[in-house]
């Protein structure tokens, strides 16, 4: 009987900035990892807000991300102030950015539910410390929501 060999995933097609402009449609700011109850409830607070997500990248850096289009982004995806754009904009690189990264090791949370599942698995002590005092039952992981 023929045995099928595992197939390597084909590389994702390259996306170019002028077809994308994703970097110019949000603001991301570094935050504390949820190693303490205070930091974990800050992340819940972020996630209670509309158009706000939190992610941890492959290096373990945590960020909050607000969806907000830059006022300088033109309809053709060109920057209206390109020659004098801020330093951070000059670090955007289509070869290493989130859209073209082949690694896919970051983890994004778009809701308190998603974050609490992760917290329970990766920071169980912190999860137990905030479960009763800072979370609502409907946001808790299914097994923990009872009682």
Give me the residues that bind ligand SF4 (CB under 6 A), please. Answer: 15, 17, 20-24, 70, 72-73, 79, 81, 85-86, 89, 92-94, 97-100
Nearest of 144, 142, 118 to residue 132 by alpha carbon: 144
Q: How far is the CB of 109 from ligand SF4 (least distance, A)?
A: 19
Shortest distance in whole angstroms from residue 77 CB to ligand SF4: 8
Bridge partners (DSSP) of residue 107 are 56
**By C-beta, is 40 or 70 nearer to ligand SF4?**
70
Task: Choose between 33 and 79: whose C-beta lies nearer to ligand SF4.
Answer: 79
**How many other C-beta atoms lie within 10 A of the C-beta of residue 94?**
15
Q: Taking Cα atoms as reference points, which of 96, 50, 53, 51 lies closest to residue 69?
A: 51
Nearer to ligand SF4, 24 or 56 (CB): 24
What are the backbone angles phi and psi of residue 53, rounded to the nearest 5°?
Answer: -135, 170
């Amino acid at each position: 009987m023929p045995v099928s060999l595992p197939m390597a995933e084909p590389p994702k097609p390259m996306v170019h900035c002028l077809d994308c402009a994703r970097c110019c449609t949000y603001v991301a700011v570094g935050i504390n990892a949820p190693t303490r109850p205070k930091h974990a409830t800050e992340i819940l607070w972020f996630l209670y807000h509309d158009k706000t997500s939190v992610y941890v990248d492959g290096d373990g850096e945590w960020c909050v991300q607000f969806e907000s289009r830059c006022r300088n982004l033109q309809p053709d995806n060109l920057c209206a102030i390109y020659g004098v754009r801020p330093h951070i904009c000059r670090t955007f690189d289509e070869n290493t950015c989130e859209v073209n990264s082949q690694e896919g090791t970051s983890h994004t949370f778009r809701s308190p539910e998603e974050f609490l599942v992760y917290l329970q698995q990766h920071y169980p002590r912190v999860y137990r410390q905030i479960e009763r005092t800072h979370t609502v039952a409907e946001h808790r992981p299914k097994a923990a929501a009872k009682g």
